[in-house]
Structure 1
Amino acid sequence: MTILNMILAQAAGAAQAGTAPAVATESLWDLTLAGGWLMIPLALLLVVSIYIFFERVFAINHVGKEDNKAFMQQIRDHIHAGRIEEAQKLCQATNSPYGRMIAKGVARIGRPMNDVLVAVENVGNMEVANLEKGFSWLATTAAGAPMIGFLGTVTGMVQAFMALAKAGTSANVTILSQGIYEALVTTVAGLIVGIVAMFAYNYLTSRVSKVMNKLERSTMEFMDLLNEPAK
């Protein structure tokens, strides 16, 4: 007798007896426990991903709110007036990706323009890499969590069929329930964690791209002001 036949037979028996199978309600904690030990790494992945998301959002927002236009105007005024030291002090006082990037360019004033551009771009690349800390974790979680959930699906079904084999002729749906619970719960949990990490990664990537565009505009503005005639 196949598993499907057993389920249909039990349902038919319940209908003949005039009783409907009771719908069991499980709490979130009960479902989590039913997922087995694989729920532990999934929970850790979720917690760390949420922490990285909010920590990076705060850091990126702090950079995005900086008044870059006013900063670049002050740099322009200092350089046109020949106040190189004041421009360097302003960059140090700003203590931002824009400030550290322009500070490197100010320190290279007097050298060939290509050398100045390369120095500024190198600092900009390092600042972007600093903003992208933890992104590799989110990308790995987005790909790995569903695979862990799939592993739980396989182990859960293995347990279910092992229990079915041990039960022999007395096998019923109840014997299969624990393994099926683990299979389904870990699958759902893995998908949820993977989806959360994927959306977090894509959102943060788009925010960093906007910061990169601002850094590139600042680089071009700085290079242009070096070629402007002093007023």
Structure 2
Amino acid sequence: MVYTTFIILATPAADTDMSLWGMVVKGGWLMIPIFILSIIAIYIACERYWLLRKTGINDATFMQKIREYIQNNNTKAVLAECEAEGSPLAKTIAKGITMQGEIPSEIRQAMEDTANYEVALLERGLPTLATCAGVAPMIGFLGTVVGMVQAFYDMAMAGSNIDITLLSRGIYTAMITTVAGLIVGIIGQLAYNFLVARIDKIVLTIEHHSSELIDLLHLKK
């Protein structure tokens, strides 16, 4: 009798194994927008990381060449080097070189305007990434509410014949959507903070070398 009871209790446990796809399906239709947000967030994070990874790598070597060209009064070489480099720093330096001869405040303002434009290009897509990181958990919590409503509805319809299997649909929707939303939100927020920190570092580098260029142009006079 004990052996028979063990088999009866163990059999349902074997049926509880579920694949990842099965869990996603159990999460309901709210998993669709969460999945879409995850794709958008991953794409933006990877694309911006690849762009920022290439930005600023050669800044030290680039500025060394610029110093030598300015000391030799070779303006054409400076502009050619800036065009070949094509980085935000290079475009900012090129703007300063074209403004040489003007008063330092005007040169600085022109370089700041150029730097702000280049930084805005680097930040393109980050607001969308932040939106994905914020909205995904909210959709997950919405799934929790929808799932609990479904569970209580099933309980009300069952009357006195309440069975845990009747509640499974609502419980799966409540738990799985919350977990999925939080995962997307955490990954998106980490990626956003990393990219913002990387851009801030680039901005500081541009500001430092812009001031250095203005000093070099002033000393050359």
2:27 alignment counterpart = 35
Which of residues 95, 98, 108 is equivalent to 2:99?
Answer: 108
Q: Taking structure 1 as the reference length, what is the TM-score of the superposition?
A: 0.87
Q: List alignment gaps of at least 5 residues for structure 1.
A: 1-16
Alignment of 1:23-102 (within 5 A): 23=13, 24-66=16-58, 68-102=59-93
Q: Secondary structure at the match of 1:184?
A: helix
Report the residue type matching 1:58 in the other structure. W
SS at match of 2:159: helix
Once the two structures are TM-superposed, the CA of residue 150 in structure 1 deviates from its matched residue by: 0.4
Q: Among 140, 146, 164, which residue is 2:131 paired with?
A: 140
CA deviation profile, 1:123-167 (whole Å, cap 9, x unmatched)? 111111111111111211221111100000011111111112112
TM-score (norm 2): 0.90
Which residue identity does 1:153 align to in structure 2?
T
Counterpart check, 1:124 vs 2:115: yes
- 1:73, distance to aligned residue in structure 2 (A): 2.6
Report the Cα distance in structure 2 between the residues aligned to 1:120 and 1:25, rounded to whole angstroms. Answer: 62
Structure 2 counterpart SS, 1:133: coil
Letter in 2 for 1:124: A
TM superposition shift of 1:70: 2.5
Query: 2:56, 2:87 within 8 Å by CA — same for their partners in 1?
Result: no
Aligned-pair CA distance for 1:86: 2.6
The Cα of 1:226 is off from its aligned counterpart by 1.1
AA at the equivalent of 1:163: D
Is contact 2:40-2:132 (8 Å) kept?
no
Contact 2:48 2:122 in 1 (8 A): yes
In structure 2, what is the equivalent of residue 161 of structure 1?
A: 152
Aligned to 2:9: 20
CA shift, 1:120, in A, is 0.6
Question: Aligned Cα RMSD in Å?
Answer: 1.7
* Deviates further, 85-94 or 36-45: 85-94
Shift of 1:25: 1.3
How far apart are the structure 2 equivalents of 1:76 and 1:196?
42
Change (3 A) 1:20 1:166: same
**1:77–1:64 CA distance, 2 compared to 1 (3 A):** closer
Q: 2:44 corresponds to which letter in structure 1?
A: I
* TM superposition shift of 1:169: 1.9
Question: Deviation at 1:219?
Answer: 0.8
SS at match of 1:170: coil
Letter of the structure 2 residue corresponding to residue 152 of structure 1: G
Cα distance in 1 for residues equivalent to 2:218 and 2:192: 39
Matched residue SS, 2:160? helix
Q: Deviations over 1:31-79 (max 9, x none)?
A: 000011110110011111111111111100101312x223223222333
Q: Which amino acid aligns with 1:49?
A: A
Partner in structure 2 of residue 213 of structure 1: 204
Q: Displacement of 1:116 after TM fit?
A: 0.3
1:202 aligns with: 193
